[in-house]
A and B are shown apart, each in its own frame.
Chain A
Amino acid sequence: MVIDLDKCTGCGSCMVACQAENNVAPAEDGTNRIKTLNWMTVYQLSNGKTFPEHDTAYLPRPCMQCGKPSCVSVCPVVATAKDENGGIVSQITPRCIGCRYCMASCPYHARYFNWHDPVWPAGMEKTLTPDVSVRPRGVVEKCTFCHHRWQAAKDAAYAQNRDPMKLPEDAYQTACTKACPNGAITFGDVKNPAHKVHQLVKSPNAFRLLERLGTEPQVWYMSRREWVRRLGDNYLNNEITKG
């Protein structure tokens, strides 16, 4: 996934679409950071200057689906694993025992714990999609890159006698990617030269969050603004910003 931070205006459409797609129950108090489950969270960035030189940007943060996921290495029950193909870090809630070790381990705070059972206002559970299971309390959950959409795309390919491993770029797109009116999110297979992300990650303006931790995140960000890129890692004062 490549997210253009110069195009995100912080509207939150991706957050709402993610919640609707993944059967996350609505929270009455959305500001309670501990209790709300925001698989996709939009952060607001600041260049740290005072008025009128202040500049702001918004950063949507899904799960990074790291190449070397620290969460996978600490799970005592293998409820989370790095998938063999696709590279999505799976999170299997029936197996999760809720120890939250993975939450402590994730440097991006991308994992959320169900402190409570989900509560839907009467009747709203009729809008649950069959693609994603409903999680009980006591388990950790996180963004899955809408892998159920990939399954659906592969199924359609099988049914139409096409190769499920050679899907066109728009056959599998995440809910957040499609919801964003600005088109700030681009999604695809970074190893496939025909996909747009393959080109975008090579841009000098592309960077990943906290790259020096060695997690190999699969979400790239891009910005023409140097201060935004500089916020992507813990730079020392004398270091030059990437890009």
Chain B
Amino acid sequence: MEDKHNATRDKVSCDRKACPVRGVMPFLLGVAVALVFGWWLFPALLYSEQEQPVNFNHKTHVANAGLDCSHCHYLRADGTFSAFPSTEECAVCHRVLIGDSKAERVFWNDYVRTGKQVKWLVYQKQPDNVFFSHAPHSQQNCNNCHTFSTKELCGFCHPSMANGTPEYKLNRLSGYTKDTMKMWRCERCHANPNHLAGTSANNACFVCHK
């Protein structure tokens, strides 16, 4: 019996004892497969791409129509942020069709005519227990000490809209999006000791939670 085994063994040209690569290959293979799974397959399974109910294009409105951000996304006098413009606000221009895109036709038919509000998918969706207010995070306020451009400041939290509407990736497990900020990102400013000294936004729980 022993001979048979030894005999079989000798026939193999690259065995574990002789070839170190062969010995470690399954391990490396495992690592590789895991990395591929973890970095490609897992996110592909986890995130499902959603379409916005209306294919709104920022480029058309900002670059072409010349609207600036605060035309639709503005801070009201009572401190609330307008978030998404209501159908009525859009209808100020889109009461009649002013372009020839399919998206506009869909918007006009389903929303302007019926008066319904669009259920926009929110990139930076936060749970109900998080309190975020745009009012203190204004350029005016932050630039007391910093020198942020609008792009930089808004870009801290929001994906860029400069090149059209980014993909909306919904996390199937948690129900939030890929862009949703977690608490540690807020704390990068709020818990920063230098920041605490100069502003009123400290890291007390009730500053951000409700």
Chain A positions near chain B (C-beta within 8 angstroms) = 81, 83-86, 88, 90, 92-94, 130-134, 144, 147-148, 151-161, 164-165
Contact = CB atoms under 8 A, between A and B. Distances in A.
Given A156-B78, A158-B79, A164-B136, A81 B131 contact: no
Interface residues of B, number: 25
B196 to A, nearest CB: 8
Contacts of A81: 204-205
B200 A159 contact: no
B205 A151 contact: no
Given A93-B129, A159-B135, A131 B205 contact: no
Contacts of B131: 148, 151
Contacts of A157: 79
Interface of B: 75-80, 127-129, 131, 133, 135-136, 138, 140-141, 200, 202-207, 209-210
A93 B131 CA distance: 13
B18 to A, nearest CB: 56
Given A134-B128, A159-B78, A90 B135 contact: no
A134 B131 CA distance: 13
Nearest to B203: A84
Interface centre among B135, B136, B210 (most CB of A within 10 A): B210
Given A81-B204, A85-B202, A90-B209, A159 B128 contact: no
B209 A152 contact: no
Contact of A92 (B80, B140, B205): B205
Nearest to B205: A90
Contacts of A147: 206, 210
A132 B78 CA distance: 18
Contact of A158 (B127, B138, B204, B210): B138
24 contacts: A85-B202, A88-B206, A90-B204, A92-B205, A92-B209, A94-B127, A131-B210, A132-B210, A133-B127, A133-B128, A144-B206, A148-B210, A151-B133, A151-B207, A154-B136, A155-B133, A155-B135, A158-B138, A158-B141, A159-B78, A161-B140, A164-B136, A164-B200, A165-B200
Nearest to A150: B206
Contacts of B77: 156, 159-160
The 8 tightest CB contacts between A and B, nearest first, are A155-B79, A83-B204, A133-B129, A90-B205, A156-B79, A155-B135, A158-B135, A90-B206
Contacts of B209: 90, 92, 94, 133
B86 to A, nearest CB: 16
Contacts of A155: 78-80, 133, 135-136
Contacts of A164: 136, 200
A83 B80 contact: no
B129 A94 contact: yes
Contacts of A93: 129
Contacts of B133: 151, 155
Nearest to A22: B210
B28 to A, nearest CB: 41
A206 to B, nearest CB: 26
A138 B75 CA distance: 37
A84 B138 contact: no
Contact of A85 (B76, B136, B138, B204): B204
A14 to B, nearest CB: 20
A152 B131 CA distance: 11
